A and B are shown apart, each in its own frame.
Chain A
């Protein structure tokens, strides 16, 4: 725990000091339910909040937004919910679980991920209609799959995927393992994947920008810390962390 705190403190210092809202005094446990694509950047922001509030313990539940929305409507105790699209946030707000109206804090666009060296010689979205390539997309029921379908429909591409993955990380894993020639994932996933994966941006992605809304929850056991975390995410420091992870800020 010590080195982690030290790291968090170093990060806070590097990030031009803590923001006004996250400064000191929050205690107890803060539970944040966040979309899997936020794993790295939220982890970093959580460390920063813990460094500013030594008596606060920030815990994350990272999973697909739809799984999180289901858990929340089933009564899972949480302070903050950050979704990777508006639909799953609507599931939560329709159930009346929010403490305040959700705010969009970042945006993400789709990108084509290919294994290092691009063995399938993929150049653009049209390659997803090539039956000779091994291709992965997300299933239509999860946010990245819904976005993929919209992009394909927009571009008039009849995709022939070999697998419809249950979440975006699973699709990315298949690229990292070299088992598919291309997958449609988010730009941030490519950025976070390191050198095993190369990204190919494509112009059609701009028509399907994904909003990330965040809100505090009405049943939050720790409302003060919840608000501090949301404020941190929306602050300049939060925006910088998100931008560094490949997210776009609205």
Chain B
């Protein structure tokens, strides 16, 4: 086994489907690159709306990831480590946004925190606060759709982590919060990082919940996926250019971060 791995040899029953799978994933990407109108790419990118959509996308996806970390890591801990009742029901509820069509998620957000929603109506009537059609709504929609990805990743990492380190910390007198901070979190850091990347990527590509709950207005709520969709109505070539920009930026960011994390995790 070990020799086979070192030689880099891949067993045929794994190699064939892997190659097919990679081709399946890469071919559509290749289609975009081939069909892109490279000669007009400069003027397309110079449009002011492209810059603002890209900035808004990066900003809102990053903020959604931070929010997901703050809320999602504790959820994952509760799901993996606590002994409260009904955890499986809780887990199913938390992962609902994964199976919910994002457009439905957007409608559900209206019903919760829209102007006439359960929480939204008192907010609007007493404080005059409205969330829909603002940049806040973009971040909310993206967090709603993307956070479950982080929760699932972190919960998996917590379950795989060796609980004996935590037991040892407890034996040495550390309380549960200290144990979480000093032992658990460093132990599952790669899982948290992977979850955050997944979450960020999902938030960056989010379309359905955003266009429903946040609407579409250039500069305020029009993220790159929305700009791509609307460009497709008018000029498919412009849509291809915008898609490639979004792809290049997201892949670039992920590769950059991955290098950082990899180098750190080899040290640690």
Contacts and interface: CB of A to CB of B under 8 A. Distances in A.
- Do the two chains belong together in a single complex? yes
Interface of A: 64, 66-67, 70, 134, 136, 139, 141-142, 161-166, 170, 173-174, 177-179
A220 B12 CA distance: 44
Nearest to A167: B233
B138 to A, nearest CB: 12
Interface stretch (B13-21, B22-30, B88-96, B211-219): B211-219
Nearest to B121: A178
B216 A139 contact: yes
A136 B215 contact: yes
Interface residues of B, number: 26
Query: Which of A136, A162, A165 gathers the greatest number of chain B CB atoms within 10 Å?
Result: A162
A178 B222 CA distance: 22
B216 A165 contact: yes
7 contacts: A67-B233, A139-B216, A141-B231, A162-B217, A163-B214, A163-B216, A165-B216
Interface in B128-180: 130, 132-133
Contact of A166 (B110, B216, B218): B216
Contacts of A179: 110, 114-116, 132-133
B196 to A, nearest CB: 30
B32 to A, nearest CB: 14
A125 B231 CA distance: 27
Interface of B: 107, 110-111, 114-116, 130, 132-133, 211-212, 214-218, 221-222, 226, 229-234, 236
B226 to A, nearest CB: 8
B250 to A, nearest CB: 22
B259 to A, nearest CB: 37
Contacts of B110: 177, 179
Query: Which of B111, B132, B222 gathers the greatest number of chain A CB atoms within 10 Å?
Result: B132
Given A136-B215, A139-B216, A163-B217, A66 B116 contact: no
Contacts of B233: 64, 66-67, 70, 139, 141-142, 166
B133 A177 contact: no
Q: Can you list the 9 inter-chain pairs with the closest CB atoms, starting with the nearest?
A: A163-B215, A66-B233, A141-B233, A141-B234, A162-B133, A178-B116, A164-B216, A163-B133, A141-B230
Given A163-B214, A163-B215, 5 more contacts: A66-B234, A139-B216, A142-B233, A163-B133, A179-B115
A161 B221 CA distance: 12
B107 A177 contact: yes
Contacts of A67: 232-233
Nearest to A74: B236
A166 B182 CA distance: 48
Contacts of A139: 216, 230, 233
A177 B108 CA distance: 11
Contacts of B221: 163
Contacts of B107: 173, 177
Contacts of B222: 164
Contacts of A170: 211-212
Contacts of A173: 107, 212
Nearest to A142: B233
B103 to A, nearest CB: 9
A92 to B, nearest CB: 14
Contacts of B231: 141
A174 B221 CA distance: 16
Contacts of B211: 165-166, 170
Query: Which of B211, B212, B222, B236 gathers the greatest number of chain A CB atoms within 10 Å?
Result: B212
A165 B229 CA distance: 11
A70 B115 contact: no
Contacts of A70: 232-233, 236
Nearest to B234: A141
A166 B216 CA distance: 8
A178 B232 contact: no
Contacts of B133: 134, 162-163, 179
